[in-house]
Amino acid sequence: MHALRRIAPGTAFEFFGSGGPRMRQAGADILIDINQVSIIGPVEILKAWRSILQAFRTLKQAARERQPDAVILIDWPEFNLKMLRFLKQIGRRTIYYISPQLWAWRRYRLRTIKRYVDKMVVILPFELDFYRQAGVEVEFVGHPLVEMVRATKDRTAFCAEHQLEPDRPIISFLPGSRRSEVTHIFPVMLEAMARLRSLGAQFVVPLAHTIPRAWAQTMMRGEHSALGLTLIEHDTYNAVAHSELAVVASGTATLETALLETPLIVVYRSSTLNYCLIRPLIHLNTFGMVNLIAGERIAPELIQFDMTPARLAETIYGLFQNPSARAIMKQKLKQVKQKLGIGNAAERAAKIVMNVLL
């Protein structure tokens, strides 16, 4: 939205749809709060089915009444691919920015993309060939995080602000951005921390803005209250940048960690039912986005049943005590960073949108 205004300053843009507080602050008329439809897993989707149906109805009605010149769809295929059919039926032009992970699972959805999307705009390097081979109109713009992710404080200032000791090593634990995933991941992280008290490291937990501090603290009661870990809000990039090692829930945060060149362990855990339903549909042997972009497993992965307190503690201990392994990983993370583009992804995407409009 900001980039569109920058490249076409004389154009009176009107934005509406589904989003969150930052889109609202940028001037969008938010009809559906993103938290109503940002749900992972078939079980959770079934539980929230009524609110999802209402979101469909609201957005469809708005599209009919307002007749937008173009619709930009972002990621979530369960919602957006169904919306696509309707949008093309009423003659709207469509741009899909941030591809759903069709290269990982449910590739049959490519047919819908090819039929209903006017332009696919991708942010991961391997997605370009994936869509070209399928005959989809596609352009690679680079990852928008490239220009956004950076440390803004030196180690001394960061540690002083959060009452940490600058001379002691730091390990960051990032349990995810959705309550459903944090519920399954954070307790395992806490148990692993308890096994690593003798490591001599300081444990910090940078919270996503979607995770309330008070809610996270309820999970730290009892035996975990004595761990001495530090919850950090609104300062994730500095926390990760000044960590010797990060334990990161699979997702965008792994790319952010890579851009900060911090060695990491990729983890993930969901409900057993969700995992057993989804895992047979996934075509990949590796989950971490960092590893997918690298073309090799440069960061250890502990997924679902492999993510136990004992396995996690063992993996952390092994990597923490091996500085040469961390140094090799840092070099490979630099290569991943280079593959993600040179920046200005938003401007490139905005230009593509304007080309579709014109």
For residue range 230-277, list pLDDT tens digits in order: 999 999 999 999 999 999 999 889 999 999 999 999 999 988 777 666
CB under 8 A, 24+ apart: contacts of 348-353: 348/139, 348/141, 348/142, 349/3, 349/97, 349/121, 349/141, 349/144, 350/3, 350/4, 350/6, 350/7, 350/8, 351/7, 352/95, 352/119, 352/121, 352/139, 352/141, 353/4, 353/70, 353/72, 353/95
pTM of the model: 0.81
pLDDT of residue 138: 96
Beta bridge partners of 282: 105
Residue closest to 192 by CA, chosen among 277, 95, 350, 313? 313
pLDDT of residue 37: 64
Chain mean pLDDT for the chain: 90
71 touches 92 (CB < 8 A):
yes
Q: What is the DSSP letter of 187?
A: H
Residue 8 predicted with pLDDT over 70:
yes
**CB-based contacts of 216, cutoff 8 Å, min separation 6:** 182, 186, 205, 207, 231
pLDDT in tens, 283-329: 667 778 899 899 899 999 999 999 999 999 999 999 999 999 999 99
Q: Compute the C-alpha angle 247/253/256, nearest 5°.
A: 105
pLDDT of residue 3: 96
Residue closest to 122 by CA, chosen among 96, 146, 94, 156? 96
Residue 27 predicted with pLDDT over 70:
yes
Residue 48 predicted with pLDDT over 70:
no
pLDDT of residue 146: 94
Confidence of residue 225 (pLDDT cuts 50, 70, 90): low
